[in-house]
Amino acid sequence: MNTPSSAAAFFAAKLRHETDPADLAADRASGASPLVVDVRSETAWAQGRIPGAIHIPGSELQVRVDELGEDRSRAVVVYCWGPGCNGSTRAALTLSTLGFSQVRELIGGFEYWAREGLLVERAAGRARRLPDPLTAPSSRSVLD
């Protein structure tokens, strides 16, 4: 049976191990610099990514982990496509089992990063799209 204390423990744990696009953007703007790791395919990476992210496809993470540096206490945020992709969950598990102590999963993934109007990087440069009013505050009504 659930109790208020078990619910509180569950939600506190979620918040220690997850972050969302707005919170990640705020952390980065404040100077907190978690290492951001994109675990999607090469094709997905080419379509767009979070600026400054490191690209290591999830299937290669275990063998390329040294590319993340020696400091396993550094904050790391992993992301995949979006809510329908568990690649970031798998990557967070892999990094945790390899000794990384501050791993968080970006809930919503790249999809919600882009939908919230945050900066996206491609080979052609950086761009923002207008925020989707269903995912971020907007001057437009969701009924427009």
- Kindly list the structural domains of the chain, giving each domain's residue range(s) and its CATH number in brackets, ordered by start: 15-127 (3.40.250.10)
> Residue 32's closest CA among 97, 104, 84?
104
Mean pLDDT over 10-14 rounds to: 95
> Stretch 14-24: mean pLDDT, rounded?
96
16 is written with which tokens? 């220690």
Look at the block and give the residue holding tokens 């379509």.
47
Q: Does 143 score more than 60 pLDDT?
A: no
Alpha helix positions (H), the chain: 4-17, 21-29, 42-47, 61-64, 87-97, 109-115
By C-alpha distance, which of 82, 86, 104 is closest to 18?
A: 104
* pLDDT tier for residue 140 given thresholds of 50, 70 and 90: low
Is residue 87 a contact partner of residue 39, using CB atoms and an 8 Å limit?
A: yes
Strands 18-19 vs 102-106: parallel, antiparallel or unpaired: parallel
Q: Is residue 138's pLDDT more than 80?
A: no
46-90 per-position pLDDT tens digit: 999 999 999 999 999 999 999 999 999 999 999 999 999 999 999
What does the alpha-carbon distance between residue 39 and residue 41 come to, in Å, rounded to a whole number? 7
The answer to whether 106 touches 20, Cβ cutoff 8 Å, is: yes
- With 80 as the cut, is the pLDDT of residue 142 above it? no
